[in-house]
Amino acid sequence: MNPLLEVQGLSVAFNGVRVVHGVDFVMAPGEKLALVGESGSGKTVSALSLLRLVHNAEVTGSARLQGRDLLQMSERQLRGVRGDDVAIIFQEPMTALNPLYTVGDQIAEVLQLKKGLTPNQAEAASVELLASTGIPEPARRARAYPHQLSGGQRQRAMIAMALASSPKLLLADEPTTALDVSLRGQILDLLSELQRQHGMAVLLITHDLNLVRRFADRVAVMERGHLVEQGAVSDVFAAPQHPYTRMLLTSKPERQVLDTGVADEAATPVLQARQLRVSYPVPLPGLRGWFKKGEFVAVQGADLDLAPGRTLGVIGESGSGKSTLALAALGLLPHQGTLQVTGSDWVEARRAGQERSLRQHIQVVFQDPYSSLSPRMTIEQIVGEGLLVHEPQLTAAQRRDRVVAALADVGLLDDPGRGGDWLQRYPHEFSGGQRQRLAIARALIVGPQLLVLDEPTSALDVTVQKQVLALLQRLQRERGLSYLLITHDVDVIAAMAHEVVVMKDGVLVERGSVGQVLQAPEHPYTRSLVQAWA
């Protein structure tokens, strides 16, 4: 059988600096190949360079699609290939879809341009394509704008748009990274089914090895622009040959201390909630909306207890209410019921004017360290900002000493005496893992008893994720910290949590020890989450 795509000596450079070095791989018609590596490994640049979609890239080598070299085509010839013979699904559909047009119009546009259909024919075909992706009420969804769809529905719409021209090859660039675990499985199953139906090949770009094992026929591993290993998924996973591949396969989060002890029942919980209820006002339809607001209940009747030195994991899909629960714990949302931090109630603290002192006891580490750190502030300013609020009596020299000590605690300074250069840097000068360590240092510098960890590792590569989790485990042991861990990653829960609560539609549907909930889940929803991650 002749190959569908044959890539030889693919190299990519920017301003003379090579970032991809002589990549070779072959894809057969209907094959599923996974291109794997961490951020910066060159996997996305390599794939997008096949269609010359990387701005200012100097691309050499050859990429023959059924005998035609994509890298030698004119721009006009490539426009005929893009979206026709080769289609792309991007990582974040919200930014890939045009917010000014309905989903149906965007799919119909492809059908009119590539298939020459009339507007009426394209409209009907777009609904059929949406229906083929399993999206509910496809006719209604076709009339919706991207912001009116859920993350999974937007990704299905992107898939429908990619399939509109019946491509021979589909490039899927991290197509499930922004989705919940159960949705990831659904999208992968959908891609597999559509791949079989249409007989197209799929090049999956990902850093998630669980997805590779579940989806791909073959895998190619990239490290720093070099393709270091490739072969059948079963062979590479069973007996990896390259050290980098072995490192990726052993980067699953691990529980460093198998703490099976029982929390001190007599100790005052650092976080306690009883019948916690959080709601948002929403407009009512028709004339009623002129006179009053309705409400959407995001958290309903939640009871929580988090003991000192323990980690309470909160797991659930997007929309389950877990992030709302975290914001309420931080005192950032109005609520009903009782909610206490280190024995003090948020409502009573506000009335007594003690809200600021209470905030010193609870700090937060957000999901994306790049967006949570101000790009206009130096590291010294970012990490030391909390001291200006909670310990204003410190001199500038004392504050700097505390900042240097905090950076050393999170492993960013081997020699605390040499912190001057680091302190004047800005967030963009650091890697993703280093930025998350900075965020942890900023939270720890004021001496909190409780950290709210809102998806603290989901934006990181697997090896960096493991390092950050090991850091959090060490800090918990050394300082007796308590963590409220918000995540949808079952592996992170298994590595970090002592107790777990499972949220669905704002309600806590199951709770218990980490072993009990993950190994013998009782609620059907919990079982579906655990099985989807396995």
CA 522, CA 428: separation in Å to the nearest integer? Answer: 45
In-domain check, residue 137:
no
Q: Is residue 426 part of a domain?
A: yes
Average pLDDT over residues 116-136: 90
Residue 73 in any domain: the answer is no
Count of domains for the chain: 1
Highest average pLDDT, of 34-43, 154-163, 279-288, 510-519, comes from 510-519
On whether residue 336 sits in a domain, the answer given is yes
Answer whether residue 159 is part of any domain.
Answer: no
Extract the tokens encoding 104.
């149906």
Look at phi and psi of residue 462 and say left if phi exceeds 0, alpha if psi is from -120 to 50, else beta: alpha
> Cβ distance 374 to 382 under 8 Å?
yes
The mean pLDDT of 307-329, rounded to a whole number, is 90
Asked, for residue 70, whether it belongs to a domain, the answer is no
Report the DSSP beta bridge partners of residue 483.
311, 451
Asked whether residue 460 is assigned to any structural domain, the reply reads: yes
- Range of the structural domain that residue 513 is part of: 271-533
Distance (Å, whole) CA 217 – CA 228: 18
- The tens digit of pLDDT for each residue in 24-82 reads 999 999 999 999 988 778 898 999 999 999 888 999 999 999 999 999 999 999 988 98
262 pLDDT band, cuts 50/70/90, is very low
Q: Are 22 and 11 in contact (CB under 8 A)?
A: yes
Condensed to tens digits (0 to 9), the pLDDT of residues 343-374 reads 999 999 999 988 999 999 999 998 777 778 89
Q: What is the DSSP letter of 427?
A: G
CATH number at residue 280: 3.40.50.300
